[in-house]
């Protein structure tokens, strides 16, 4: 409904002005849409912009009379206000299950996120990647894209060689009940301590790297055991976060199936290739000073080579590839894109996000300096349980725990997704544990309220007649949901959905305060119940797309 109405207004403006760009945008508090095209025309026609606006209004009235859009001018601004027919159309759409789902696009998308090295548990920096990636995946599905979500497992890197050396030489025992990823981190941290103290260990690591590249059976087994042990822990965390992947791709597979060798051969043939001991590529034509090294002088490959093979595979199997990467990958990500262009491949689109640090500085798995996602979730869950226990003492233990779980995961995800990705953040326990206002529980609560009203009300007749200021504002916001999904799928900026969901909850709460529903009578009651149902449905769809449980009671 929003798209159609926007298009009708835009077409009308184009027709009456003859301009290609009619400068149509959000009207803010003044209107639903507003155009500043009169300013542009004033320059061309050398006339007063306010007069132009007034003249255009007369013509626009004729064009848009049947669309339920009214036009007002305020000086040079042309404001468009959507009327009753629009509101009715929105409500009808928003009552349907799955509201916001856009038409299928027949485009296969490969979205890769998290892909953390399996040398320890996910920490609060990694899960910014997971939450951005998973939210985008949900948005893409909602936007009608056929979307696969990948985790690329770096199972033959130096870090894993260090972990395998640690398992063989340190004799560190797994603690009672310790998760695999945490155990691997213990080994990795200690192995690094040893490595720093005794540089001769580096030779042993190099030997392991050479063996793994050759496919040495024993070394493959050692690496794989360590990787799987850690990955199982990571998978458990991601599952709890509602951020599952549907494919785990192992980089070693691209070595074993020869695709990496094939890519390197084609790179050797490029004029930009340089071979003197190492194989590297000169990307100065793309503005990169440093050469991009793909093979070491000892003949083993670096991560970048395997990554090229993986991305060629993506190009062959999908229409679009989207990678979510931390800001530390900006340079190599762009080098990867440039190299794929030289090879004639379609490079991935990359979403970069800035770092999450601790008040005492940046995180480091190697130094054991991080807050794990598991620890964060545990703390938030404890806090959520206290809150539920306080508010709903009458609920069963099981219900309380279930609500606390949904609230905790929602709070963690929302706290991350609400900030735009280009902003670096400092992790703050106080904010993570705050469940008021700009938080998931606030939005979940609005949804639960809607559910509660509908349950108490029982059957009602659908009536499409928003009347009060709060009703109209709420329905208009509901109408924006498909546009928000579309916009995020274009701009790859998922924090917009977090803002939208919060604003929708704000408007629902204001509506709730001033417009009694169950106590109202007749058509007014039915109309309000219709609005509550549409709002509740939209809140649920928005929450679900954010990967947050839309619970019915809390």
Q: Are 457 and 114 in contact (CB under 8 A)?
A: no
Hey, which residues between 419 and 438 contact RNA (CB under 7 A)? 419-420, 422-425, 431, 434-438
Question: Per CB under 7 A, does 202 bind RNA?
Answer: no
Q: What are φ and ψ of residue 272, in 5° steps?
A: -80, -5
Question: Per CB under 7 A, does 39 bind RNA?
Answer: yes
Hey, which residues between 7 and 36 contact RNA (CB under 7 A)? 23, 25, 27-31, 34, 36
Hey, which residues between 347 and 406 contact RNA (CB under 7 A)? 354-355, 357, 362, 384, 387-388, 391, 403
**Site size for RNA, by CB under 7 A?**
90
Out of 172, 304, 343, 473, the residue judged to bind RNA by CB under 7 A: 304
Out of 2, 77, 188, 310, the residue judged to bind RNA by CB under 7 A: 77
Q: 93 vs 229, which CB is nearer to RNA?
A: 229
| Whole-angstrom distance, CA of residue 188 vs CA of residue 165 | 9
55's tokens? 């003249």
Out of 123, 182, 449, 540, the residue judged to bind RNA by CB under 7 A: 449
| Whole-angstrom distance, CA of residue 263 vs CA of residue 402 | 49
What's the farthest any 2 CA atoms get from each other in the chain? 85
| Whole-angstrom distance, CA of residue 11 vs CA of residue 335 | 42
Hey, which residues between 163 and 192 contact RNA (CB under 7 A)? none
Q: 110 vs 448, which CB is nearer to RNA?
A: 448
| Whole-angstrom distance, CA of residue 181 vs CA of residue 177 | 12
**Per-residue mark of binding to RNA, 451-470 (x: CB under 7 A):** xxx--x--------------
Give the residues across from 273 on adjacent strands: 281
- Cα 17 to the center of its chain, rounded Å: 39
Distances (CA, A) of 435 to 381, 393, 471: 12, 18, 26
Question: Per CB under 7 A, does 146 bind RNA?
Answer: no
Question: Per CB under 7 A, does 312 bind RNA?
Answer: no
Question: Per CB under 7 A, does 315 bind RNA?
Answer: no
We find the least distance from the C-beta atom of residue 176 to RNA, in angstroms, to be 30
Question: Per CB under 7 A, does 445 bind RNA?
Answer: yes
Task: Tell me the residue length of the chain.
Answer: 554
Instruction: List, as one string, the DSSP characters of 532-550.
Output: HHHHHHHHHHHHHHTT---
We find the least distance from the C-beta atom of residue 341 to RNA, in angstroms, to be 18
Q: Which stretch binds RNA (CB under 7 A): 86-94, 157-165, 175-183, 539-547?
A: 157-165
| Whole-angstrom distance, CA of residue 50 vs CA of residue 78 | 9
We find the least distance from the C-beta atom of residue 548 to RNA, in angstroms, to be 13
| Whole-angstrom distance, CA of residue 81 vs CA of residue 476 | 11
Question: Per CB under 7 A, does 196 bind RNA?
Answer: no
Hey, which residues between 267 and 296 contact RNA (CB under 7 A)? 277-278, 289-290, 293, 296
Q: What value, to the nearest 5°, has the Cα angle with vertex 163 and ends 160 and 168?
A: 125
Hey, which residues between 84 and 103 contact RNA (CB under 7 A)? none
Q: 74 vs 247, which CB is nearer to RNA?
A: 74
Hey, which residues between 208 and 247 contact RNA (CB under 7 A)? none
We find the least distance from the C-beta atom of residue 298 to RNA, in angstroms, to be 6
Give the residues across from 353 on adjacent strands: 326
| Whole-angstrom distance, CA of residue 127 vs CA of residue 258 | 32
């Amino acid at each position: 409904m929003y798209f159609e109405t926007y298009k009708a207004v835009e077409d009308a403006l184009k027709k009456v002005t003859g301009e290609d760009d009619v400068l149509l945008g959000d009207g803010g508090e003044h209107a639903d849409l507003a155009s500043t095209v009169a300013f542009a025309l004033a320059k061309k026609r050398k006339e007063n912009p306010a007069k132009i606006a007034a003249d255009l209004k007369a013509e626009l009235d004729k064009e848009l009379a049947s669309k339920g859009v009214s036009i007002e001018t305020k000086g040079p601004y042309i404001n468009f206000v959507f009327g009753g027919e629009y509101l009715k159309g929105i409500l009808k759409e928003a009552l349907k299950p799955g509201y916001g789902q856009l038409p299928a696009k027949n485009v296969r998308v490969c979205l890769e996120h998290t892909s953390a090295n399996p040398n320890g548990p996910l920490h609060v920096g990694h899960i910014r990647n997971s939450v951005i990636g998973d939210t985008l995946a949900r948005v893409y599905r909602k936007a009608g894209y056929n979307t696969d979500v990948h985790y690329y497992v770096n199972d033959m890197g130096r870090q894993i060689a260090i972990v395998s050396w640690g398992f063989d030489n340190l004799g560190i025992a797994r603690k009672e009940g310790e998760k695999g990823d945490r155990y691997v981190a213990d080994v990795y941290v200690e192995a690094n301590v040893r490595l720093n103290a005794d540089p001769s260990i580096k030779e042993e690591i190099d030997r392991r790297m050479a063996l793994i590249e050759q496919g040495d059976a024993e070394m493959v087994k050692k690496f794989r055991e360590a990787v799987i042990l850690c990955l199982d822990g990571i998978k458990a965390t991601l599952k709890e976060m509602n951020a599952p992947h549907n494919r785990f791709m192992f980089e070693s597979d691209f070595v074993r199936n020869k695709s990496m060798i094939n890519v390197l051969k084609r790179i050797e043939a490029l004029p930009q290739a340089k071979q003197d001991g190492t194989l590297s590529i000169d990307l100065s034509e793309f503005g990169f000073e440093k050469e991009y090294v793909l093979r070491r002088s000892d003949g083993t490959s670096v991560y970048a080579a395997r990554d090229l093979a993986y991305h060629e595979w993506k190009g062959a199997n999908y229409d679009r590839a989207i990678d979510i990467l931390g800001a530390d990958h900006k340079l190599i990500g762009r080098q990867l894109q440039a190299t794929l262009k030289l090879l004639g491949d379609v490079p991935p689109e990359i979403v970069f996000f800035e770092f999450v640090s601790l008040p005492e500085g940046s995180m480091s798995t190697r130094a054991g300096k991080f807050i794990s996602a598991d620890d964060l979730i545990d703390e938030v869950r404890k806090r959520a349980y206290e809150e539920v226990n306080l508010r709903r003492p009458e609920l069963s233990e099981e219900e309380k725990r279930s609500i606390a779980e949904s609230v905790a995961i929602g709070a963690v995800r929302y706290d991350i997704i609400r900030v735009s990705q280009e902003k670096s953040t400092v992790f703050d326990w106080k904010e993570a544990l705050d469940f008021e206002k700009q938080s998931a529980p606030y939005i979940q609560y609005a949804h639960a309220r809607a559910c509660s009203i509908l349950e108490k009300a029982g059957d009602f007749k659908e009536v499409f007649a928003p009347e009060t200021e709060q009703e109209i504002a709420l329905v208009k916001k509901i109408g924006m949901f498909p546009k928000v999904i579309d916009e995020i799928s274009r701009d790859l900026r998922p924090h917009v959905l977090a803002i939208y969901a919060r604003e929708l909850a704000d408007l629902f709460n204001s509506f709730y305060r001033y417009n009694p529903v169950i106590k109202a009578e007749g058509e007014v009651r039915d109309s309000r119940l219709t609005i509550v149902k549409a709002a509740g449905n939209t809140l649920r769809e928005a929450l679900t797309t954010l990967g947050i449980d839309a619970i019915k009671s809390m």
